[in-house]
Amino acid sequence: MTTILESLNRGLRTCLEESDRVYVIGEDVLDPYGGAFKVTRGLSTDYPEHVITTPVSEAGIVGVGVGMALRGLFPVIEIMFGDFISLTVDQLINHAAKFRWMSNDQVRVPLVVRTPMGGRRGYGPTHSQSLEKHLLGAPGLRVVAATALGDAGELLRKAVLEDEDPVLFLEHKVLYAKPIIAHDELSDFEVDVSDDPYPTYRLRIAGAPTPVITLTAYGYSAELAREAVKRLAYEHEIFSDLIVPTHLSPFELSDLFSAVRQTKRLLTVEEGTMTLGWGAEVIARALEELGAGLHAQRVAAGDMPIPAAGLLETAVLPQVEDIIEAAVALSEAN
Amino acid sequence: MSRPDNAAFYRRMLRIRRFEETVLDLFPRGLFYGTTHTYIGQEANAVGVLAWLREGDIVVSNHRCHGHFLAYGGSMRSLAAELMGRSTGVCGGRGGSQHIQWRDFYANGILGGTVPMAAGMASTEKLKEGDKMVFSFMGDGTLGEGVVYETLNIAALGAFPILFIVENNRYAQSTPTRLNLAGEIPDRFKAFGIPVESIDSTDVVEIHEAIEPMLKYVREKNGPAAFVVHTYRFAPHSKGDDSRDPEEIARYRTKDPLPIQAERLEEANQREIQESVEMEVADAFEQAESDPAAEPASLTSPLGKSQ
């Protein structure tokens, strides 16, 4: 069994092995500490020249990464908590994402910024958020989200070694300890994987009747959605399919559209706040693509900061029960 | 490196001066779209500093980048074309006045944002064990940006080969330094253990000489250094937005870097340079004007997809 954490660690190790242009950079990334979430553990011991610890200067280190990338290196910057991505936004939007385009394609910025988003750990308002919605759709910035359905380390390797554009690579704190799910272990599901560099996964209950609802979710939310799909089938006899993208921005929705074309019912699930979020854009695009007759609903975090107390946090973040409830309601819409 | 002769210094400064004056003269004709930040009055800085440039050195500039670009060796015609939105512009009309990328020259319009990027470029040179260095220009206004100090710390810790050049033109847009800059500028570098030289001058020769110890320091891989030039811009921050006291401007005009340098030349030599620069400027703008406009059909989606 490989956890997502081990997979990511292995992915970084592979990058360092395969290219001497790779530099892993971040706060507290050196051994023996090995990073706040231990994704970089062991790397500085084996690649001391290529793993660089930094001051607590998120904007500065992402800017340094932009400069390194512009000059031909493959920097991988760790931002310790996804919440701190706000400190780097100028570097991401005005520098990393712009230079290639505004130079009329004269330069490339092969930068990767990795960060753990997400709550459910009791870390409170500034260490639990899923802030990616603020960066989705920023022209020139790719956003990729790791999932338990595939090899997160390989996804990261592609971003580092094969993508010549800047990538914001999203991890989820709760996913770290989860095992990567081998598809043959998903005995309840049939799984299709698109052949995109950053694939989309399509799951449906094995041997079930035609789905009547399409769910879509990424990252850890996809795990909740997968649980909901199972319980909807076994407890409610509502059959659904689940589309899990890893390529969030630019929006890569063709697999979703083909599923929704059949079901005409779309439920989006995300851990970010609901208003003006990922689900809103996905539904708008589905509506434009498929026209009238689409029924849609969103499950997302409440539009408020994430509280620290466990009971309160659970109330604000989407749970499996919320997804089931929304799906049942949506199945009855006409 | 041998010092450029007095005539070369004068010519380089005059190219910048006449380019910028022509931009301001032509703006009312509607040839340009948007805005511009001219370098008039500060020419001695770019020319004096960048005369030390070696092949492959990196220059990182800011919103007021025309002077740096021309002193770097950029083409007048492609800069004029960029300002006019022509397909022949340095960046095909996408960047405009503040966003110029050519060879190892990079400019962006976000104050301070380019400074960590410049440090990252310097770190790359260090990691590659090359012999190149980075010239990173900023103004006094940029000293208000927090990321600058993150960068000074990082660059000092990593001993990156970078020279920070502060052109203190005494105004951040309309705000005088006395209202936005506490303490003394050199102290901001000293706090990070970064050596710094300062000069209050518009004399290109003086500036060129004063920076030499800092350049030597950087080139010998001892890490970052800084150079502060107290200067003045004669023209508005951008086009018509000048609220400074005209008497103050007139006072600084008496220290115009061009006449200071011209005095070192024979009159005939001055005239010859002036005539040839006039022709170069006229040709550049004329050619740029007749170049084809950047076409909307040339627009591509970043990352190859609609967002």
Q: Which of A73, A106, A140 sits opposite B302 (nearest CB)?
A: A140
Q: Which of B116, B124, B301 sits opposite A59 (nearest CB)?
A: B116
Domain A4-172 CATH (choose: 3.40.50.970, 1.10.540.10, 1.10.260.40, 3.20.20.100): 3.40.50.970
Report the residue of chain A nearest B99, measured CA to CA.
A102
| ipTM score assigned to the predicted complex | 0.96
Which single residue is written with the structure tokens 């995300």? A270
Interface contact flag, B121 A60, Cβ < 8 Å: no
Q: Is B78 on the interface with A (CB under 8 A)?
A: no
Interface of A with B (CB under 8 A): 23, 54-55, 57, 59-73, 75, 90-91, 94-95, 97-107, 137-140, 142, 165, 249-252
The string of DSSP letters for A40-59 reads: TTTHHHH-TTTEEE--S-HH
Q: Are A68 and B121 in contact (CB under 8 A)?
A: yes
Both tokens assigned to A110: 């092969």
Q: Which of B102, B110, B154 sits opposite A55 (nearest CB)?
A: B154
**Architecture of domain A183-332 in this structure:** 3-Layer(aba) Sandwich (3.40)
List the domain boundaries for chain A: 4-172, 183-332
Q: Are A112 and A167 in contact (CB under 8 A)?
A: yes
Rounded to whole angstroms, what are the CA distances from B60 to B54, B100, B121, B135, B165? 14, 10, 9, 6, 10
Amino acid at the residue A210: T
Whether the per-residue pLDDT at B305 is higher than 70: the answer is no
Spatial CA neighbour of A296 closest among A262, A264, A261? A264
- Please tell me the distance from the alpha carbon of residue B172 to that of residue B180, in angstroms, as a whole number: 8
A4-172 and A183-332: identical CATH topology: yes
Interface contact flag, A68 B108, Cβ < 8 Å: no
Q: Is B125 on the interface with A (CB under 8 A)?
A: yes
On chain B, the residues whose CB falls within 8 A of the CB of A60 are 116, 119, 147, 150-151, 153-154
Per-residue tens of pLDDT for chain A, all 334 residues: 899 999 999 999 999 999 999 999 999 999 999 999 999 999 999 999 999 999 999 999 999 999 999 999 999 999 999 999 999 999 999 999 999 999 999 999 999 999 999 999 999 999 999 999 999 999 999 999 999 999 999 999 999 999 999 999 999 999 999 999 887 778 889 999 999 999 999 999 999 999 999 999 999 999 999 999 999 999 999 999 999 999 999 998 999 999 999 999 999 999 999 999 999 999 999 999 998 899 999 999 999 999 999 999 999 999 999 999 999 999 998 7
Q: Is B115 on the interface with A (CB under 8 A)?
A: yes
- Please tell me the distance from the alpha carbon of residue A183 to that of residue A241, in angstroms, as a whole number: 15
**B6-289 belongs to CATH 3.40.50.970:** yes
- Residues contacting B66, CB < 8 A, separation 6+: B16, B19, B20, B23, B36, B37, B38, B39, B79, B97
Both tokens assigned to B93: 């009309």
Q: Are strands A295-301 and A247-249 parallel, antiparallel or unpaired?
A: unpaired
CA-based nearest distance A37→chain B, Å: 23
Interface contact flag, B121 A71, Cβ < 8 Å: yes
